Amino acid sequence: MTANGRRPSRLTINADAQAMIDVARAEGIETVWDRLAAQEPQCGYCALGLSCRNCAMGPCRIDPFGEGPQKGVCGADADVIVARNLGRTIAAGSSSHSDHGRDILEVFRATARGETTGYRIADEAKLSRLAGELGITTEGRGTLEIAEAVADALYEDYGSRKESLALTGRAPEARRQLWEQLHITPRGIDREPVEMLHRTHMGVDNDYVNILLHGLRTSLADGWGGSMIATELSDIMFGTPTPVVSEVNLGVLEFDQVNIAMHGHNPLLSDVVVSAAADPELLELARSHGATGINVVGLCCTGNEMMMRRGVPIAGNHLMQELVMMTGALEAMVVDYQCIMPSVTDEAKCYHTQVISTSDKAKFPGATHISFDPARGIEVARQIVRLAVDVYPNRNPDRVRIPVDPVRMMAGFSVETILGALGGTPKPLVDAIASGDIRGAVAVVGCNNPKTPQDYGHVELTRRLIEHDILVLVTGCAAVANGKAGQMLPESAALAGPGLRAVCESLGIPPVLHMGSCVDNSRILVLAGALADALGVDIDQLPLAGAAPEWYSEKAVAIGAYVVASGVTTVLGVQPPIFGSPHVVELLAGGLDGVVGARFAVEPDPVQAALLIRRHIEAKRRGLGLPAFDVDAEPVGVAV
Report the interface residues with ligand SF4, using CB under 6 A.
52-55, 57-60, 72-74, 76, 81, 202
**Cβ proximity to ligand SF4, 122 vs 202, nearer residue:** 202
Minimum Å gap between C-beta 78 and ligand SF4 is: 10
* 518 binds ligand NFS, rule: CB under 6 A: yes
Distance CA(260)–CA(381), nearest Å, equals 12
Q: Which does 318 bind (CB under 5 to 8 A by kind): ligand NFS, ligand SF4, none?
A: ligand NFS
Phi, psi of 402 (to 5 degrees): -110, 105
What is the x/- site pattern for ligand NFS, positions 431-450, by CB under 6 A? ---------------xx---
Rg (CA), the chain: 24
Minimum Å gap between C-beta 564 and ligand NFS is: 17
**Cβ proximity to ligand SF4, 202 vs 534, nearer residue:** 202
Q: Which does 55 bind (CB under 5 to 8 A by kind): ligand NFS, ligand SF4, none?
A: ligand SF4
CB 335 within 8 A of CB 321: no
Residue of 463, 411, 184 lying closest to 303 (CA atoms): 411
DSSP-derived secondary structure letter, 318? G
Q: Could you tell me the CA-to-CA distances from 42 to 38, 46, 544 in Å, in that order?
A: 9, 8, 35
**Cβ proximity to ligand NFS, 80 vs 445, nearer residue:** 445
* 477 binds ligand NFS, rule: CB under 6 A: yes
* Residue 545 CB-half CA count within 13 A: 29
**Cβ proximity to ligand SF4, 60 vs 503, nearer residue:** 60
**Amino acid sitting at position 263:** H
Minimum Å gap between C-beta 584 and ligand NFS is: 23
Neighbouring residues of 540: CB distance < 8 A, sequence distance ≥ 6: 175, 567, 568, 596, 597, 598
Element (H, E) at 595: helix 592-596
What is the x/- site pattern for ligand NFS, positions 318-357, by CB under 6 A? x--------------------x------------------
Among 186, 241, 313, 476, binds ligand NFS (CB under 6 A): 476
* 94 binds ligand NFS, rule: CB under 6 A: no
Phi, psi of 261 (to 5 degrees): -100, 125
Footprint on residues 549-568 left by ligand NFS (CB under 6 A):
553, 555-556
Minimum Å gap between C-beta 348 and ligand NFS is: 19
Minimum Å gap between C-beta 81 and ligand SF4 is: 6
Q: Which does 59 bind (CB under 5 to 8 A by kind): ligand NFS, ligand SF4, none?
A: ligand SF4
Binding part of the chain for ligand NFS, among 51-59, 124-132, 548-556, 595-603 by CB under 6 A, reads: 548-556
CB atoms within 10 A of CB 161: 8
Residue of 232, 227, 101 lying closest to 155 (CA atoms): 101
* 479 binds ligand NFS, rule: CB under 6 A: no
Q: Which does 57 bind (CB under 5 to 8 A by kind): ligand SF4, ligand NFS, none?
A: ligand SF4
Distance CA(60)–CA(69), nearest Å, equals 9
Distance CA(612)–CA(624), nearest Å, equals 19
Residue of 557, 421, 461 lying closest to 89 (CA atoms): 557
**Cβ proximity to ligand SF4, 61 vs 352, nearer residue:** 61
SS3 244: strand
Distance CA(388)–CA(333), nearest Å, equals 9
Minimum Å gap between C-beta 582 and ligand SF4 is: 18
DSSP-derived secondary structure letter, 43? P
**Cβ proximity to ligand NFS, 313 vs 476, nearer residue:** 476
DSSP-derived secondary structure letter, 514? E
Q: Which does 412 bind (CB under 5 to 8 A by kind): ligand SF4, ligand NFS, none?
A: none
Q: Which does 52 bind (CB under 5 to 8 A by kind): ligand SF4, ligand NFS, none?
A: ligand SF4
Minimum Å gap between C-beta 64 and ligand NFS is: 28
Distance CA(303)–CA(179), nearest Å, equals 34
* 301 binds ligand NFS, rule: CB under 6 A: yes
**Cβ proximity to ligand NFS, 32 vs 509, nearer residue:** 32
Task: List the Cα angle 581/209/72 in 5-degree steps.
Answer: 50
SS3 126: helix
Minimum Å gap between C-beta 47 and ligand SF4 is: 17
Distance CA(517)–CA(510), nearest Å, equals 18
Minimum Å gap between C-beta 74 and ligand SF4 is: 3
Minimum Å gap between C-beta 156 and ligand NFS is: 25
Q: Which does 434 bind (CB under 5 to 8 A by kind): ligand NFS, ligand SF4, none?
A: none
DSSP-derived secondary structure letter, 615? H
Distance CA(522)–CA(475), nearest Å, equals 10
Where do the H-state alpha helices sit in 296-401? Answer: 300-310, 344-349, 377-391
**Cβ proximity to ligand NFS, 356 vs 477, nearer residue:** 477
**Cβ proximity to ligand NFS, 236 vs 300, nearer residue:** 300
Minimum Å gap between C-beta 407 and ligand NFS is: 19
What percent of the chain is helix, strand and coil (3-state, nearest 5)?
A: 55, 10, 35
State the residues that interact with ligand NFS by CB under 6 A.
265, 300-301, 317-318, 339, 446-447, 476-477, 518, 553, 555-556
